[in-house]
Structure 1
């Protein structure tokens, strides 16, 4: 992309869409009371002595809110940040607020492939979120960004050094204003990145008066890198948290209107006895009880309430697989659990349609007969599927996600010995990657150039029937795929899975490279290099770059060799497959590209 010469924050957002996306949890999210803790909970922290000393200090200070999974760290941090935001909005005193929250639904495990981390788990993403918050509150701070933007262009947004340099200047330019920085979920970062992040955050406090609020689990790579003299609030075995959980239980159980008073009283008593200050445990237990609602299973579950999150998940999974149609629901759960972000209803609708078409195709292969067209699920139908997940999935007004990253860890834990289904993460990553890769070609590709004509599934027709693949040779209209290439954002409306496919296919592929090369690349099944994406021309890659959200991929616009494309994507199995082809074409294995590719592989 050309160098960016913009004069205002508004112009930057309009022209580049901020490349590294605006925070999922942004200022407006914190202003919405529905995203904050249960009414009546969390107020105790504002009277806590350590918190007040941190807030009232005239110097830079660090406060660490720590606790185990499900203890309410993120919600409490959001509660505190929202209170500061009220002060910012009222303008009664000079305050600037910056924050980075990690969604508790997304996995915090390190991904063992180059650049295959979810966007929020890298230093550039963190700095981008913090800078975005400051610029939204004070557009005058944008002047400090212009020189770096003009020099680097869109690559600025993926360059941690540049982002932190500009963020540091923005903090300095706040001058007399107090700057509060909230960082949640840093324990999800790989150890060396976590150490660097803490050093960078502490470095900001050396240039101006900055109050830092960290919330995370207690793990060595966090605790070992924090300063000794700091304020710590421990949520584990915290009496205030236990009281908040009791309030939470009371509100949630009382909301179950179909239960009589005596039943609610018994449930509240049983839950209070075993919750032990874990909000997530209480929430999952209530959801399971609500599903059972009555009968002997309810009485048994109430008497034998599991005491740990893992036990709750085991109970949920065991109950799920006993139900008719459980395999389809389980496949839906694993698709959502593996997703790099919460899925929209349209994206999940595509996944459900894909699963249904796959089942019909397998039946057709086994028994013969024609497959009928599969219809895309409506939003209401998708919500019913979510309800059938036994509590593993949660839906907002627009998206569906796994209930918590601890559920993902349980479902994919290969060391589990409970005789329940264990999901294969590597193979599923490969399957998702291949489906996303093919979906790109269904939207942008010329059907006549598909390696296998049977890849045009019925369910993949666009939402608008008038733009379907009924295009005939000699038709005077533009082909639908040509229209899509000219306006990729517009194509997303007609192809509901397109944005996720563009954002994630190469990341899922990187996460599956530990699988054997023969399995990754199969001439009869996954023949990646035969698709238009890997052709010299960029008719697929160019619209893909516009949607993928990674400006580094702009290097793949223009004519490129398949080997160069595979190297740039970091897909070593495809590098190894492309090397012999290039050797034949050039009659040489000593070119710089050969040597670089061999070194990488």
Structure 2
């Protein structure tokens, strides 16, 4: 005689069986393995690794560029008042929202240590894995403890976002309304970047002061503008630094316009424009070795990884390569190409570019895939 009893409660998966006097206990699906499977399903990317990657991509986190917000009345109100559950940091592209959040996370982690669980998730519009509401919820649940959560959200100054978040339980911080604090933070960022450039390039005191003055006068309180200009100066021989400096216009969009005009005058203008076109429409970052399959390039480029790296490097500072993956330096760079320079990047239209990528993807697959004879 034999019998089997199953339990569907908290010990789901546990069975007891008796057969010919022998008793066996079998754990078909231990609860720990179920928990691990749940975590694997929730995790699209690791938020902690995303934070490190973002900081490294932006050249590291400078404390002087974010510490101002810790002393703001809105932040302290959010931190101390239990009725204020949401701190909303909003600002235009390139104002330093992401790095501001990285700094806040570090400071809260240092302040509370193991006494509180600090959960976070970084969205990136260019990465399909982490650019939607479902991914956000999955990422937060992955690292969330239900005991307490206060929330920090950053966004652009979009009316539809303001409509949803502008409530009495929200402590909003507008970077535009805190212009003095942001400007001071940008000024410290400029000092840091110029000091580093001067050390590497061995600028004279006069050259260093001229660069500092130009950046301070034209940055318009935008970290990204400063970073892009300093990146260009880092590639420029010391003797041409001041002449190069005069070519940088004030404002982010004006700088992007100058960058795309430079691309059009390059010897490798056509390959650059093709690469920018593909990168502007793909739904995720492209691995370096995938690019040749997606972009119609001359043979001397598609078969030469070193030469291809050089072309990507001169694509007007729109793109960068991190861990063998090609990404935009900032979402605003992609938006500029899609909205302001479609005629340059997509002479045949965006739809035609989608069709080209689709066709080339099929061609690439046909080289390796074979029909199943069964």
Q: Does 1:212 align with 2:151?
A: yes
1:332 pairs with one of 275, 289, 296: 275
Matches within 5 A, 1:332-481: 332-348=275-291, 350-351=293-294, 355-357=297-299, 375=303, 377=305, 381-413=307-339, 420=344, 422=346, 424-446=349-371
Aligned to 1:468: none
Aligned to 1:27: 48
Matches within 5 A, 1:39-58: 39-58=63-82
Take 1:38 and 1:87, find their aligned partners in 2: how far apart are those partners? 18
Q: Does 1:320 align with 2:259?
A: no
**Contact conserved, 1:30 with 1:81, CA < 8 A, in 2?**
no
Take 2:239 and 2:123, find their aligned partners in 1: how far apart are those partners? 39
**Contact conserved, 2:123 with 2:136, CA < 8 A, in 1?**
no
Q: Deviations over 1:253-274 (max 9, x none)?
A: 3333225222222111101011
Higher strand share: 2
Q: Deviations over 1:224-278 (max 9, x none)?
A: 1124322121112522221221222222233332252222221111010111210
Instruction: State the shift of 1:338 in Å.
Output: 2.5
Take 1:407 and 1:6, find their aligned partners in 2: how far apart are those partners? 49
Take 2:33 and 2:356, find their aligned partners in 1: how far apart are those partners? 40
2:191 pairs with one of 250, 262, 265: 250
Q: Deviations over 1:498-530 (max 9, x none)?
A: xxxxxxxxxxxxxxxxxxxxxxxxxxxxxxxxx
Runs of at least 5 residues in structure 2 that lack an aligned partner in the other structure: 1-28
Take 1:405 and 1:292, find their aligned partners in 2: how far apart are those partners? 25
Q: Does 1:280 align with 2:224?
A: yes
Matches within 5 A, 1:172-251: 174-175=146-147, 178-179=148-149, 211-229=150-168, 230-236=170-176, 238-251=179-192
Take 1:339 and 1:429, find their aligned partners in 2: how far apart are those partners? 8
Aligned to 1:303: 246
Q: Deviations over 1:75-101 (max 9, x none)?
A: 11122123334467x42x1x2222221
Aligned to 1:77: 101
TM-score of the two chains, using structure 2 as the length reference = 0.78
1:100 pairs with one of 121, 137, 142: 121
Take 2:338 and 2:364, find their aligned partners in 1: how far apart are those partners? 26
Take 1:87 and 1:433, find their aligned partners in 2: how far apart are those partners? 50
Instruction: State the shift of 1:10 in Å.
Output: 8.1
Aligned to 2:130: 120
Take 2:166 and 2:33, find their aligned partners in 1: how far apart are those partners? 35
**Contact conserved, 1:291 with 1:390, CA < 8 A, in 2?**
no
**Contact conserved, 2:89 with 2:172, CA < 8 A, in 1?**
yes
Take 2:101 and 2:63, find their aligned partners in 1: how far apart are those partners? 15
Runs of at least 5 residues in structure 1 that lack an aligned partner in the other structure: 108-117, 135-170, 180-210, 361-373, 447-481, 483-536, 540-601
The 1:123/1:102 distance shift into structure 2, 3 A limit, reads closer
**Contact conserved, 2:78 with 2:85, CA < 8 A, in 1?**
yes
Instruction: State the shift of 1:41 in Å.
Output: 2.0
Aligned to 1:511: none
**Contact conserved, 1:320 with 1:389, CA < 8 A, in 2?**
yes
TM-score of the two chains, using structure 1 as the length reference = 0.50
In structure 1, the residue corresponding to 2:187 is in which secondary structure?
helix
Q: Deviations over 1:408-429 (max 9, x none)?
A: 122222x659x85555322212
In structure 1, the residue corresponding to 2:320 is in which secondary structure?
strand
Instruction: State the shift of 1:294 in Å.
Output: 6.0
The 1:387/1:10 distance shift into structure 2, 3 A limit, reads farther
Instruction: State the shift of 1:330 in Å.
Output: 1.9
In structure 2, the residue corresponding to 1:218 is in which secondary structure?
coil
**Contact conserved, 1:37 with 1:79, CA < 8 A, in 2?**
yes
The alignment of Structure 1 onto Structure 2 pairs a total of residues equal to 338
**Contact conserved, 1:22 with 1:132, CA < 8 A, in 2?**
no
**Contact conserved, 2:280 with 2:338, CA < 8 A, in 1?**
no
The 1:425/1:9 distance shift into structure 2, 3 A limit, reads farther
